[in-house]
Amino acid sequence: MVHCLPLVCICVVLLGGVGTRKPNRAPLAVPRGFKGSAEILRGPLARKIAPAALLHIPNLFSYLDRVRTRNELNNRLSEVQLYVITDEHGRPLVSHYPSDALSQDTEVTTQESAGRPPKTIPETSQIPHAFVQLFREGGNSVESESSQHDINHIKQGMPKVVLYFMDPNACAAQIHELRRQGINVGAQIVTLSDYLKDSQEAKRHYDPILLPIPEALTRATLNGKSTFRGTPIFTTDPPIVITNSEDGTNEYNPETDKLAIFFSPEQAEEVYRSAWWSGRAKSEVGGRKTHYKLLPGTRAWYPKVLVTSLEDLCNRIETNEAYWAVLIRLVPPSVELDHEAHLMLRNEKETGKSLWKSLHKFVTKLL
């Protein structure tokens, strides 16, 4: 009987057996799986359980909404590949900068964001405008200041870091340099979702740092005249919309269209120029075809490129603007691989195959 209590609590509310329900609210339909529980809800047991059910149902709905939002956000982030340097054991390479000599290991503890009341999704016609406002309100650029520091003091406070590369060429160049120094390292392909999980880990002994592609860092820091907090992401004003196919209407439909977010400002400008004349364009990144369109009445010959941080956007989604998780699409940067990057990716793929073959051979022996 004890195991049935959570089920009973939910059924009381679903069947409308509580007198505190608002009179102008239609009764909720009973799910198919709960029809056989009606007999349990009669008598004094239902009256005892009902108040407790009312207290916990809002928390349950809130928890389910957070899980759904997290899943949607992870799906978006998993579409963008990153690259991590690994040591000889295949684990992410942890480094000290600028010196390997630290006085003691420091434990980093992250803090959860303060809760804010959830916002309602804007009207369909206002969604593109509200999307652009996310980038206008970013405020992550800070004027740089020159100062003098004691290098010995800086060394003592430097944490351990794990570098996540968005540019495979930069990762390959770092691997080449480490191997030249006699350090046995490799590479591993991960995703943006892995990086965000790592950065939000409650307790860790290193700092994950995401290195964006060069032009993104240059644009976000205004050619080095300022500093930028977080990982820069870009959009155009007016925004670019990703649609399911190259046919159809140019009107915005949140059911089928996604608002494009770029990691390269140059790529955003290039897509916009390609779509300016006909209102549509398409590209292929990593073997995946993407169709773009510009909303009617919004074309500008010189669109503005706006920037905000990925961390700020994710924080909005996870606190009080969850609806953005299903309205956006992250566009992976298009990078032309050099020779070292080709070798790195080929070796990573062969390493993955050898691990799979070893696992398959081990499982076969067991069977």
User: Is 9 part of any domain?
Assistant: yes
- Residue 323, domain member (yes or no): yes
Task: Answer yes or no: is 350 within a domain.
Answer: no
Q: Is 154 part of any domain?
A: no
pLDDT at 10: 42
Tens place of pLDDT per residue across the chain (367 aa): 444 444 444 444 444 444 444 444 333 333 344 333 444 444 454 454 455 555 555 566 666 777 787 888 899 999 999 999 999 888 999 886 554 444 444 455 555 555 567 788 899 999 999 999 999 875 565 555 555 556 566 555 567 889 999 999 999 999 999 999 999 999 999 999 999 999 888 777 788 999 999 999 999 998 878 889 889 999 999 999 999 877 777 889 998 899 999 999 999 999 999 998 888 988 876 677 889 999 887 777 888 999 999 999 999 998 889 999 999 999 999 888 898 888 888 887 766 544 444 444 444 444 4
Q: Which of 42, 69, 96 is the last residue of a domain?
A: 69
Report yes or no on 322 lying in a domain: yes
Count of domains for the chain: 2
Among candidate residues 45, 69, 93, the one where a domain is terminated:
69
118 phi-psi bin (left φ>0, alpha ψ -120 to 50, beta other)? beta
Residue 98 domain-assigned (yes or no): no
Residue at a domain's end among 16, 45, 69: 69
Q: Does residue 356 belong to any structural domain of this protein?
A: no
pLDDT of res. 27:
39
Question: Is there a domain that residue 13 lies in?
Answer: yes
* pLDDT score for 319: 87
Domain, as residue range, for 30 = 2-69
